[in-house]
Structure 1
């Protein structure tokens, strides 16, 4: 009887599995005819990972037999043709039509290359290595030249004219404020990155943070067995030399995969800034004219090592450890004079010198788990993360003021400022296919952030000859706990696709100024719905409509009330009373032949967190801070086109026009700004023979609003690049010439109430870079294990 029951169980299990197996067939056509010997790849629809390969027969037919139930994409490639994609539809033979891009030449090997920009309904993908001008660049410069992205000189990143972008690294947060994130990206060679994913409307699975959307930076990984790796060495010459370098190694055999990557970057940069402030009063107009110069030298070291272990065919566990050390030396000087407009006589002058040495250490630990529950696609994943930032800043400020017929006034300030931040995060995600076309996802996440920032400023007291506590001395601690849960439902009904999600997040935080014995506590719960509709009208046209509500919480650095100096008359100060801002986003998109993408978008944001200026007309002191001051309405249209024009010329074009309207109160005075902005990115790539390439790229942005007060004048740049494959295509040499005419600069105008200011920035942007890359690989491609953690929101908000 036992044997009979066992046989029945086996037969029942076999029958169930047989019901879950799929038979996928189709044909590939090229130039109007069936295409034999074409490569056909079956990909997972969720992450485009490879499942199985096939080759068409002499009639152009292919098949994938007995495949597990799920959603798949089919990709067909052939020499001389552009790749084609189509979604696998159950019970319907797929038809893929390849377009010719080059005539086949006898005796010549045509190497497949990724396009610089790929447009999809849910995101835009930038392939980093496809652009020679990325040679010697850093990650922040890479973002600046990417379609729809703009970066101001403070490192604030905007997407389609909207601030509040969350930047992820391999799907996990960096937990940094805008300034610290900018420093991190400046220290990261672009050669460490494989792709930049730009998502303006993430699903409920992602953290709700980020008004404008999510930018995910995917680092290079190897999917092959054996020992594989790459090394990239660069030298860049601007006003000062720079050297961004990186490496990556991977060993995969059997159940174990070990990987490591890292780099060292030397970056020396200079910045010249002029500030002109006008103070209008009954006695006339006073002008405060300042010229500033700063130079920074950074040594950046980073490394990451990890291991994936397959317990069995359905279970994988992994561990990743990463670290980063940044050592920076800075020197700045500022000379300013105050005079009456129409007079050359100086009322007073100030000279400021500053020195700072900082060390910034980061440790990241991640443990992850994945369990496939059945062949239909049910799975559960989990992540545990610990992230630590420890920094120390030593600074010295020397301010000397001169007044007519008075002795020189000297103000000396010093500080040894430590900062400690620790972050704990845990999350679990569950995927449950309800049918072949319907899927349910759910998950939970909890994170805790503790920050401690001490600023024991001291000033020199000439009378006693001693250093004493300065009035700016402060000690600020902050603790935040966020608990979240989400559910997401998606289904496909023939040509229609539907997805709806709901995410709930509870936030509780407390900030304490320890010296003043003041504290501020907040606790709130918010819901964030998302909805998507897609329609594949035919093989050439696809449409999408989506909606989402998102939140932007204040960065930890912005909550810190410390003052950061340029001189006695100019500084920056945090605001512990900031509250979150909330955004509604709507987008309508159309994709034609996977080449032309058009998007219409509407955004409405309340309680905007804005950079503002406060000014005292009597003391002439102006400082920058952040406040919740306005609402914003942004409406725009974006068009991108990415395709080969000839067999040797490929173009990538992106244009975006949008109108930003701010309404609110700034310094208790009504403010309304309304500006329409146009931006344009262009990249032209040329291929010569089989191993040479060249590129011309550039961007233009008309007058725009950085915040409700800061109006940026037009910005533009053009750059050039060339590349050569060597060492049997295992190596490459890339030459980049960035802004050779030195035309990229930033001019900012601020004119509101009693504030009338003009700021001009010019930096070390004209550079020539040479990069050598060597790649070695061995083995077969296999599906990539997960290497990203579960932290999805907090890491973008850390500040020093």
Structure 2
């Protein structure tokens, strides 16, 4: 049985009996056809956009006229419709019709040439959900009917080149090293808390998502996989528009609210994005086993139960004012806060061939608080000789703080003498950026250039307090405590050239960056000094075809500059048998990538991509085992080399006027080699990701959707994780002229729990962690849209984009 047939049966079974019977009583489908020509010379017109709308003015099908001017819509049921024809340079035309029990040929339809400016043309047909440019793919969330009842993270599962793993980690090209922007600008709330923000942000507040797989030289070179740009800008014309969303998810998750608001009056425009959520993770079991080899082999068994409560809130605000047609001032402000409270209880038993060596029960009371804020100001100057010629001056300030406290108490001791202890880590980052950009279009070539300076200071104060039974108080242990400061000054300049020759597009450029690092450990009077200069090229070629398809070939080099979490030497001892630590001696990593992509948006939307990546010195946690202390430590390091060959296929296919199915697949093969404790550790293997989504639209605003996600085993430099299959089913009802949407959702109804298995290995040890997490869930949401807006708020064409430091 074909996949489309299975999906149709599955979605139909979700509906009630009366609706099912009504769907079965639809009359035999027929064909609506016709020809389009020029009203003056009667010449056939090709590539005319033709939309078929129902009596509620909803677009149900869209097509393009062929070279002979012909077009047709098949599988149409008898009813009242309207046909809308739109073509650049011609007046649009709307034809009302009634389809009875026979095919309908509209004959010759003539379009008259426009006698007014092109800017007055209004395209009213639905936009394609996928659009490809030379260096990016654009996913139109507004064209996705599920956006009204989903979070941004849930929608990301369907976006080409993106995937979401079993722990809600967003991946780009199968990699966690990328940069997230909002409206083309960095945001503090995405710098350190992107997962919680994305899974609480309603998709209804987003316009589209840009996946920039091959960033040009105007972007900082950080981010191995590329850049994800979330666009929230709305269209306004002396009015306002907005949306608000309320939702509840359980048992995993909690209440959430979020929304957006845009207003414009004359030359002043402003947009707002905000929300708050609670994410509850109920108590779940975790089982961990480690086996070591050597002169004194051991076995470690740990059982634990963990739960957590995360509260998140965020606000983003953009404002712009047009002084006149050539001068524009804009600014932005973002702030976010999060708070985590967690509890864990863990039993641990270490043994060898002779019996038990040591054991204990540990309880951990976890407190974590974080906040971020950033503000920016931009001035854009245009020129009367050519309004596409622009000079932009930008300034941005960013700061974020994170405070972590673990209070650990030990009972049921067996040959274990470590006292109770408290560990703290207060981390912060302050950053200032200044930037100048200049764009100069010539007759056939567009030239961009700019200079930039980033001045960043990262601080960490970490302390270890051990309980002294004699003094009956906690005392600081200097050997496990330190005060750390890392200063980074980054100076860069770029130059890019872009031009088109008929259907060919070319973009090439280079970026030079000089990084100066001064790191000081005040408690130990030690320091780290680094100074490195890099020249990074980027080249992209694209070709457009007559069927509106496009192919692109790109080459780019990306750099992964280590961030504060990776550099911070703070040792997390919340599990006495497993330590986690940063490394202040890290160097930047480099990735060379060749990308080939193809996109076609017609009745069937198809996007295909293939890429080959070679990574040198990749910054990753490397696990080693110490047979003396019998502790495994995961410490960030520059691994030797990794290579990835991957492909991505996205297909969106209408099965009928009411049903559509989309496939988003990603297949990768990875090779990695790491030098650990004097020997090479190799790991390789295939990985695959699949997301299938389908929905059926009934009458009177009802819609049912199904979603299936599958991940095979994932391969890392020292680890292998098990695969998983996830599913969800949703029911939507639209009210008040489609402005109010009610959504109910069930996720993974067939499995209450999911076992997340992580197997790690290295010289002298093998370990397996099996975390049992809640998987089945329920959700309800209410989304309301309001206002009426037409034109777009003016904004700077160039602004600060700091993607030089990426941590995931």
- 1:34 is matched with 36
Q: Does 1:420 align with 2:419?
A: no
Residues 335 and 149 of structure 1, relative CA distance in 2, 3 Å threshold:
farther
- 1:193 is matched with 206
- 1:18 is matched with none
Shift of 1:155: 6.8
Alignment partner for residue 320 of structure 1, among 300, 309, 332? 332
- 1:734 is matched with 743
Q: Does 1:600 align with 2:610?
A: yes
Shift of 1:134: 6.0
- Report matched runs for 1:313-712 at 5 Å: 313-340=325-352, 346-374=356-384, 375=386, 377-400=388-411, 402-403=413-414, 409=417, 411-435=419-443, 437-470=444-477, 471-593=479-601, 595-689=605-699, 691-705=701-715, 707-712=716-721
Residues 178 and 228 of structure 1, relative CA distance in 2, 3 Å threshold:
closer
Shift of 1:645: 2.5
- 1:46 is matched with none
Question: How many Å separate the matches in 2 of 1:392 and 1:214?
Answer: 28
Question: How many Å separate the matches in 2 of 1:98 and 1:171?
Answer: 39
- 1:89 is matched with none
Question: How many Å separate the matches in 2 of 1:194 and 1:571?
Answer: 42
- Secondary structure of 1:161's match? coil
Question: How many Å separate the matches in 2 of 1:646 and 1:752?
Answer: 53
Residues 729 and 155 of structure 1, relative CA distance in 2, 3 Å threshold:
closer
Question: How many Å separate the matches in 2 of 1:481 and 1:85?
Answer: 53
Question: How many Å separate the matches in 1 of 2:198 and 2:457?
Answer: 24
Residues 542 and 145 of structure 1, relative CA distance in 2, 3 Å threshold:
closer
Question: How many Å separate the matches in 1 of 2:394 and 2:43?
Answer: 44
Residues 669 and 137 of structure 1, relative CA distance in 2, 3 Å threshold:
farther
Alignment partner for residue 166 of structure 1, among 179, 195, 200? 179
Residues 130 and 590 of structure 1, relative CA distance in 2, 3 Å threshold:
closer
Residues 146 and 788 of structure 1, relative CA distance in 2, 3 Å threshold:
same
- 1:716 is matched with 725
Shift of 1:533: 1.3
Shift of 1:311: 0.4
Shift of 1:752: 2.6
Alignment partner for residue 280 of structure 2, among 240, 263, 268? 268
Of stretches 484-493 and 409-418 in structure 1, the one that deviates more from structure 2 is 409-418
Question: How many Å separate the matches in 2 of 1:100 and 1:773?
Answer: 33
Shift of 1:78: 5.7
**Structure 2: gaps (5+ residues):** 1-31, 54-58, 84-123
Preserved CA contact (<8 Å) 2:160 2:649: no
Residues 453 and 263 of structure 1, relative CA distance in 2, 3 Å threshold:
same
Question: How many Å separate the matches in 2 of 1:775 and 1:760?
Answer: 43
- Report matched runs for 1:152-163 at 5 Å: 157-163=170-176
- 1:308 is matched with 320
Shift of 1:558: 0.9
Shift of 1:735: 1.8
Preserved CA contact (<8 Å) 1:613 1:622: yes
Shift of 1:440: 1.1
Preserved CA contact (<8 Å) 1:398 1:410: no
**Structure 1: gaps (5+ residues):** 1-29, 37-55, 63-72, 87-92
The root-mean-square deviation of aligned C-alpha atoms, in Å, is 3.4
Shift of 1:160: 2.5
- Secondary structure of 1:740's match? coil
Shift of 1:774: 0.8
Shift of 1:84: 6.9
Shift of 1:135: 6.5
Shift of 1:505: 1.0
Q: Deviations over 1:646-698 (max 9, x none)?
A: 21111211222221111231232112222122222211122112522221112
- Secondary structure of 1:557's match? helix
Preserved CA contact (<8 Å) 1:136 1:243: no
- Secondary structure of 2:566's match? helix
- Report matched runs for 1:101-112 at 5 Å: 103=76, 106=79
Question: How many Å separate the matches in 2 of 1:61 and 1:245?
Answer: 52
Aligned residues: 726
Question: How many Å separate the matches in 2 of 1:318 and 1:156?
Answer: 33
- 2:225 is matched with 212
Question: How many Å separate the matches in 2 of 1:120 and 1:101?
Answer: 31
Question: How many Å separate the matches in 1 of 2:392 and 2:646?
Answer: 38
Alignment partner for residue 295 of structure 1, among 293, 307, 315? 307
Shift of 1:255: 1.1
